[in-house]
Structure formats: C-alpha cells, structure tokens
Amino acid sequence: MKNRTRFAPSPTGYMHIGNLRTALYEYLIAKADGGDFILRIEDTDQKRYVEGATDIIYKTLKRVGMNWDEGPDIGGNYGPYVQSERRSIYAEYAHKLVELGGAHYCFCKQKEENEVSEDDNPIETHSKFKDPCKFIPLEEAKQRIAAGEPFVVRQNINKKGTSVFHDVVYGDIEIDYDELDEGVLLKSDGLPTYNFANVIDDHLMQITHVVRGNEYISSTPKYNLIYEAFGWTPPVYVHVPPVMKDAQHKLSKRNGDASFQDLVAKGYLPEAILNYIALLGWNPGDEREIFSLKELEQCFSADRLNKSPAIFDITKLTWMNGCYIRNLSAEKFHEVAKPYYADMPLTLNLTALSAVLQPRIETLAQIPQEIDFLRQISEFPISLYENKKMKTTPEIAKQSMTLVIPVLENISDWTNENLFEALKECAAVHELKNGQILYPLRIALSGKETTPGGATELAVILGKEETIKRVKQALEKL
C-alpha cells in the first residue's frame, strides 16, 4: 500500500512556520514513496475561524510547490475534505463508539473542553473529570436524548496499566492509562473535538502516516483506544519536536513570531524558506544544505528526523536566502526584484540595476535601502570625498569631476565597458590613479560611501543624461 499523508490545518490565520514544516514532512513522506498528499481543512472550532484563512493555506502550499492530490478544491475519493461538512459522519461514528463501549453519553452542565487542532498545543486537564453519567444505563441515556436533553459524547478510558505504542522519531513510548482524561469527543452542537475527528478522518481517508507535534504524544493512547474499539489499525506516528524561538520559547503565532507570509514580505524567497525549514529537525546524513523540493522528495527519510527541538535562526535563513538569490537566472531575479522598483524614475536602466544588485543582497527587502539614492540624491558632506585608500581629497575630486564631464559627454555607446575604459584612459592621461577618478565619481552619483556597484555601473543604471547632470551638480558644490 502506498503512503497517504494529510496536512490538516485550521483556518485560524496565517501559516505559522511550524505548520508549514509539518506540511512539508507530510508531503515528503508521501512523495518519497510515490504516494498521495491530502489537504484537509479542520474548521470545527468555529469561534476561531478567520475569514480568508483557507485561501492563505491554499496560496502558501501552492507558492512553495506542495501541490496536493486530494482536497476541498479538487475533490477526491474520500471527501468532503472540510470537517464542518462531515458532521453527519462524526455523529454516526460517535454513536457507534458508544454502542461499542468506547464512549458514553454525558448530560452534565460542565463546560466543554477548549477546542484544539493539530496546529495548536493540546490542552490537557490536570484534574480528571469524574463523570457520573458514565454509569447511566445506555437505554436510559437514549431515552433522555430522545426527550431532547442536551448531551455530549465522552470517551471511556476503561483500561488499566500501560499503553505502549511506537513512534518513528521517539521509538517505543509507554504512557499510563491512569493519566488519560475521558474527554469530550462530540460536542453538544454536534461538532466533534479534534481528538475524535482526526481519528475518524484519518481512518476513512486511509491515511498511513501522521506527522504532528510531540505535544500530542500524551494524547496518542486515547486515539489508539478509539482505533481499537472500532477494530481499525492506527497509522504510523511521526511526532516531531517544536521549532523554537530560543532555548526556552517556542515559535508561536500567538506571540507574534514570523509567519511564512511575514518572511516573504521581508524579502525571503519561498523556495529558500522551504529549504531552511526542512532542515529544522531533519538532516540528509551528509554536508549538503541546499535542496530543491524535488531533491528533498528524492532523499527524505523520516528516520533521520531529530528528537531535539530546532532553533529558528534568522541569520542562517538569511544566508541561505542569499544563496538562492544568487542562483536565480538574471531574468528571474529581475522579475522578483521589479516590485521594489515601483517608484523608481522611468529613465533608469532597471535591467542593469538588477544585475548590480543580484550578487550583493541577501533578501529582497534590502533593495529599497540600497537604491534610495537613485530616486533623488541627498545632500552629503564634501568630506565624503576624502578617502586615504583611494588617495582622494575634495580638491582631487574637483579636478577629477572637471576632467570627467567632457569624457562622459563624448561616449555614445553607454556601456559599463566603454565607460570604464574611457575613464581609465582619462586617469592615465592626467597621471591620476583609477581610484582618484572612479571614487569621486561614485560619490557624486550616489552621495554614499558604499553603493551596490561601482561608478561605471551606477552611470549605466542612471543613464547618460542623469549621470552628467549629477556630476555637474556635484562639481558646483566642490
């Protein structure tokens, strides 16, 4: 039987990095075996539903290339793929579970447990609820339901001793049945809790592997009791440690930590983000760090997932993003950089600008600060022309700019090569070093000590007319 995995997020907002990593591992487990990757939307917690969040899930997965084989938008043989559309299915199996002795009807007025989903931390009650309804005869309970009395379906934990199950990451795990809470499976509004819905859906959708956070390890025996009551085989469990902000704190959307959308807005490429999060808890067994999604599909193995939490290192992501930027074709880089040129003067040579920027930046968000002088040069002190390494002073800069203007005016083919050769010849003729011509020119064109490119590269970007205009303006102030 081929692998079938599912990503089952709740539409409660943006795509958290931990959620995207879970989706990636689910995807890779499926694709490494030629299997199916299913998208299921877990929206039974209507109080936390966020309008438009489902579209964010779709767009994020598509943007990183993780296309699903079955899901709400494309269908499949095991739908519906939205939990709120499966209400009758959960009710049917909840009542069956009661008949099988794995659950009971509860009429208590106690507040129902907080709803959780797979992209949140499960909430376990430390003081176990002693439910008197557990001892109500089934026929009596059915009569009360028929009379219209509100009820929930609550799980029975009838076993004593120790639950033992296997996890791909953590090996064999033992948990005392006495530690398990008899939680609500079906709420009074007819919707299931996560603890019930995920079991029913995973079985009916023939899911073979389940990847989720290691905080769910303590709940897994409860899921296994449901599988056991129905006579079903549990999936392969792959519990992964959290992604940490630092040694003490987990990344959390509730704490405002960066989402996938935030990182993209900060100039990180989706492919680089995906590559980086693949390594947050997994290693390929060698020194490689740069992987395309296709390469990950070919080499991923769940048995190389780590038990220890991984710390999200923005410096490492930034380095990796720089690698991805430099590996883009010139055409592709220009395409992704163009939105950052939106308010640039139309006379600029934007293709030349992209060629200068590509080897010099690590995130796209660095572009605005690198090119702000191209809109309008700011006032700068004459002392900026002083540079010991280049052997320049304001006096030498004035001499150089006077010599440069006629040279620039006589260049018809405005290319980097022609500009460099002409200015180098000018320096030689007047017994100046190349830097004594080029450094002052770069200052005159940018008003900055450091720029994304040398003097002639900036001249090509600005164009002949703007270059000569800026040199003349600079000369007037020297």
Catalytic residue among 31, 187, 222, 253: 253
**Does residue 83 contact residue 40 with C-beta atoms inside 8 Å?**
yes
| Catalytic residue check, 47 | no
Which positions are catalytic?
253
